[in-house]
Structure 1
Amino acid sequence: MSNSQYQTYETYGPNDPYAAVYDPHSAETVAYGVQVAPTLPTPPMPVSYEDPYRPAYELPEAPAPHSGAGRRAARRRKGRGAERPDSAMRRLLPQALVVAFLAGGTTAFVAKDKAIELTVDGKPRTLHTFADDVTELLADEGVDVGAHDVVAPAPGTELSSGDEIAVHYGRPVRLTLDGERREVWTTARTVDGALKQLGVRAEGAYLSTSRSRPIGREGLTLDVRTERAVTVMADGRSRTVRTNAATVGEVVEEAGITLRGQDTTSVAPGSFPRDGQTVTVLRITGTKEVREEAIPFWVERTEDPSLFKGTEVVEQAGQAGLRRITYSLRTVNGVRQKPRRIRTEVLREPRTQLVKVGTRPMPMSVQGADGLDWQQLAACESGGRPDAVDPSGTYGGLYQFDTRTWQALGGSGRPQDAPAAEQTFRAKKLYVQRGASPWPHCGSRLHG
């Protein structure tokens, strides 16, 4: 509250007897902000005339009553005595106004003053303030609060004398809780307080630092692994352990189980063990097996205009390659697993088969043989099947050519592999050369 209400006393003149009555900056202080004015002094009396109110025993000797001076003095005393009540009132009125004004200002001053207990981050102090609410008080005291700080009661709350204000500063904690990392804020000043505030169960837990360690305004990094129940299955037995271990492998060791050779667990040994998790130990035995397998060859076809359409000639026979494959054979807890390929070695590369494909149009007419019944001949020789082969494997096709005769007529490969139209065309050429003699049993069918 401002002291400007007392500035009205500066308007008295320099010779005014009340100008030095009250100075708010030097008055005696009986409580913080409560000032009491000293007793008003009696103003000095003028020295140029005699005090008419002096007691009779102090008056100078009176002149004779019948003298002129005596009569005049008596009249003055009588006149002044008649005026005395009003004059005294006029002199006492300014003093009474000053006292009343000071009393009213002091009452307002006391009403604005409040005794407050302010606790900042656990450090209490009692102070007097004229602030109207919590926000104004914190600003007056230079207490800055941020988004993560807690003020109780809340900023903006009106103040009354006797109130208690608490400011709790927020502190960042880089917390790794059971393998999960996050950043949290706490107003607790110790690790133990932060754990309680964050609802972290600390009984049986692993802490990377002491629970009593103080947390500064800059915060700290904290790793917490709570106690969990994990069941380990091994060798036909079940073991449940309570642990705050960081990995499944550590849990298995705590259960008194030893992994040997290729043994492992059903979950990765380096993974974080969860509460209620069941871990199975896998006893593994294994061997290796080597096998050789053929590598299929590729077939490459190229067009050949010298060959009739539908005719394919193998220019280079393909050859399969050979590779050696090593497999891992495992038995897990007595059960044989599917072989797993672990290495491949090529012993021989495959050779590509080259094939010529005819694009020349096939002639259908041969002079001197077109009018014969070739369908009946084919039905007699092969049952009308272009790919027919006799039991000896010597003759093939519709008309049962042997390979040498077929190739002499311009055919390529085997007759049973050629199209039906080409087989009929070459049979007609053979008839022109040799008649029906190549078909001694069925040749008569050509003439119906």
Structure 2
Amino acid sequence: MSNSQGSHRAARGGHRAATVTAPPPYGTVYADHETQIAPVAPVPEPRGPEPSGAAPGPDADTGGRAGARRAARRRKSAAGPDRLRRLIPQALVVAFLAGGTSAFLVSDKAVKLTVDGVPRTMHTFADSVEELLADEHVPVGAHDIVAPGPDAALAGGDEVVVRYGRPVQLTLDGQRRQVWTTAGTVEGALRQLGVRAEGAYLSASRSSEIGRAGLALDVRTERSVTFLADGRERTLRTNAATVAEALQEAGISLQGQDTTSAPGGSFPRDGQTVTVMRISGTKEVREEPIPFRVEKAKDANLFAGTQVVVRQGEKGARKVTYALRTVNGVKQKPKKIAEEIVRAPVTQQVRIGTKALPSSVGGADHLNWSGLAHCESGGRPGALDPSGTYGGLYQFDPGTWHALGGSGRAEQAPAAEQTFRAKKLFVSRGSSPWPHCGRRLYR
């Protein structure tokens, strides 16, 4: 529309050109869609001269205004189709903007998001809690709490609360474990974990804050402990960390060798009874023998059944220190507390014969050897005379025994070997080696 037409419309009726503008957008992305549409003002037709002789009409003083209006209406009717074609696209633009704005307003919603107790209100297009947290870069883990849940739909006016989990290294009455809490303070965590804190010892104050990194918390609840000491029973309520601390709270002292039935460094349990033991005593040193070992070795030069002691064993000795204690007036069994070797034992060495014995000795098998043995030793293979010189069934001296091929001493050899060697002696010397009992060989 030209400036002259606008001035003309202002002069005719004071009308202003109408401007249609889209609702204020939420972002600058909609700024380019603003559109202004102004109707086309009619152009007044020039007035012609009045017919001659005609009376002046009511509009004569205005210079033929009625005629001008009639001419404008005729031009308007003639220009109707063209104008309609110009207005349709503009109307479509207005309708599009109006519809888009309505959809924009429906999708946009105001919600409240509170993260670890810090609230903020915002506008969002998210359709669910999960989308909102993703848009706001709020990560959540397995120990975190989200209310309502991540899958919940989101509507205008909703409130979403996120509480982060915090690790707590909790030592409760001596038992250590890791727990998780969404509470922001020690008091809230104890309440959330169900820990009875009345009268308890806490390593951190109840008002202490728990950061995202967590904290270590030692809790000792109040317990009832009974002590039996000096014939009396004392019960107290305590949150002591050790039996020794509780004993001190009870006003009981230990002296000398005194001790308690529960270790002093152990944790006192609720309802536990601890006995105080008054100990007195002395030490005693005793000398005790150490037995010797026996080593045996096979010897093919000895007849089977023969055992010869090559080295005689000797017992050792040691000093043993014992504690003699009296506990609450009752004597206890001596307790070995130390020992010292005074003399080491000597191992005894023995040879065992494996050689087969001969069946007989020619010229001597027919004699009465059992009669001779009964006369010399009473028939005892291990017999030894009072002087310690002669031994065995036939009372061999060591020199004669060794000359006949025997090992060790005769009384250590089996009876069959002693008889065999006695026969060999008879073949070489007759019955003279047995001057008193030799005659028994012939009966």
TM bucket normalised to smaller: 0.7 to 0.9
Equivalent position of 1:195 in the other structure = 190
Q: Check 1:74–1:118 CA distance in 2 against 1; reply closer, same or farther (3 A cut).
A: closer
Whole-angstrom CA distance in 2 between matches of 1:327 and 1:365: 62
Equivalent position of 1:115 in the other structure = 110
Equivalent position of 1:438 in the other structure = 434
Residues 228-239 of structure 1: pairs in structure 2 closer than 5 A? 228-239=223-234
1:19-69 deviation digits (Å, cap 9, x = unpaired): 963255579x9xxxxx9x9998752425xx416xxxxxxx957632799xx
Whole-angstrom CA distance in 2 between matches of 1:399 and 1:18: 162
State whether structure 2 residue 146 is matched by structure 1 residue 158.
Answer: no
CA contact (8 A) 2:298 2:352 kept: yes
Give the CA deviation at 1:245.
1.1
Q: Check 1:402–1:146 CA distance in 2 against 1; reply closer, same or farther (3 A cut).
A: closer
Give the CA deviation at 1:107.
3.6
CA contact (8 A) 2:22 2:98 kept: no
State whether structure 2 residue 67 is matched by structure 1 residue 80.
Answer: no
Give the CA deviation at 1:431.
3.8
CA contact (8 A) 2:316 2:346 kept: yes
State whether structure 2 residue 44 is matched by structure 1 residue 50.
Answer: yes
Whole-angstrom CA distance in 1 between matches of 2:257 and 2:69: 139
- 1:421 pairs with one of 412, 416, 427: 416
Equivalent position of 1:335 in the other structure = 330
CA contact (8 A) 2:18 2:38 kept: no
Residues 26-37 of structure 1: pairs in structure 2 closer than 5 A? none
Equivalent position of 1:213 in the other structure = 208
Q: Check 1:393–1:167 CA distance in 2 against 1; reply closer, same or farther (3 A cut).
A: same
Equivalent position of 1:176 in the other structure = 171
CA RMSD of aligned residues (A): 4.4
Whole-angstrom CA distance in 2 between matches of 1:277 and 1:74: 118
1:278-320 deviation digits (Å, cap 9, x = unpaired): 2222222231110112223344556667665544544543332
Residues 188-337 of structure 1: pairs in structure 2 closer than 5 A? 188-300=183-295, 310-337=305-332
State whether structure 2 residue 141 is matched by structure 1 residue 146.
Answer: yes
Name the aligned partner's letter for residue 43 of structure 1. P
Whole-angstrom CA distance in 2 between matches of 1:125 and 1:285: 74
Give the CA deviation at 1:249.
1.0
CA contact (8 A) 1:369 1:428 kept: yes
Mean alpha-carbon deviation: is it higher for 426-435 or for 119-128? Answer: 426-435
CA contact (8 A) 1:381 1:442 kept: no
Whole-angstrom CA distance in 1 between matches of 2:308 and 2:129: 103
Give the CA deviation at 1:175.
2.2
State whether structure 2 residue 331 is matched by structure 1 residue 344.
Answer: no
Give the CA deviation at 1:331.
2.5
Give the CA deviation at 1:198.
1.6
Tell me, which stretches of 5 or more residues in structure 2 are unaligned? 1-15, 55-63
Whole-angstrom CA distance in 2 between matches of 1:367 and 1:81: 177
Q: Check 1:45–1:249 CA distance in 2 against 1; reply closer, same or farther (3 A cut).
A: same
Q: Check 1:361–1:126 CA distance in 2 against 1; reply closer, same or farther (3 A cut).
A: closer
The secondary structure found in structure 2 opposite 1:21 is coil
Residues 129-140 of structure 1: pairs in structure 2 closer than 5 A? 129-140=124-135
Equivalent position of 2:58 in the other structure = none
Whole-angstrom CA distance in 2 between matches of 1:261 and 1:385: 64
Q: Check 1:395–1:142 CA distance in 2 against 1; reply closer, same or farther (3 A cut).
A: closer
CA contact (8 A) 1:437 1:443 kept: no
Q: TM-score, normalised by structure 2?
A: 0.76
Q: Check 1:161–1:414 CA distance in 2 against 1; reply closer, same or farther (3 A cut).
A: same
Equivalent position of 2:5 in the other structure = none
Name the aligned partner's letter for residue 139 of structure 2. D
Whole-angstrom CA distance in 2 between matches of 1:341 and 1:43: 122
Whole-angstrom CA distance in 1 between matches of 2:422 and 2:36: 158
Whole-angstrom CA distance in 1 between matches of 2:123 and 2:366: 136
Whole-angstrom CA distance in 1 between matches of 2:70 and 2:131: 66
CA contact (8 A) 1:247 1:270 kept: yes
Name the aligned partner's letter for residue 336 of structure 2. R
1:366-390 deviation digits (Å, cap 9, x = unpaired): 4432222324544566565423567
Mean alpha-carbon deviation: is it higher for 288-297 or for 108-117? Answer: 108-117
How many positions carry a matched residue from both structures? 413
The secondary structure found in structure 2 opposite 1:216 is coil
1:237-269 deviation digits (Å, cap 9, x = unpaired): 332222211111111111221111112222221
Name the aligned partner's letter for residue 22 of structure 1. T
Whole-angstrom CA distance in 2 between matches of 1:26 and 1:364: 134
Q: Check 1:62–1:378 CA distance in 2 against 1; reply closer, same or farther (3 A cut).
A: farther
Mean alpha-carbon deviation: is it higher for 150-159 or for 279-288? Answer: 279-288
The secondary structure found in structure 1 opposite 2:192 is helix
The secondary structure found in structure 2 opposite 1:176 is strand
Tell me, which stretches of 5 or more residues in structure 1 are unaligned? 1-16, 30-34, 52-58
Name the aligned partner's letter for residue 260 of structure 1. Q
Equivalent position of 1:11 in the other structure = none
Equivalent position of 1:22 in the other structure = 21
Q: Check 1:369–1:163 CA distance in 2 against 1; reply closer, same or farther (3 A cut).
A: same
Equivalent position of 2:7 in the other structure = none
Whole-angstrom CA distance in 1 between matches of 2:91 and 2:297: 134
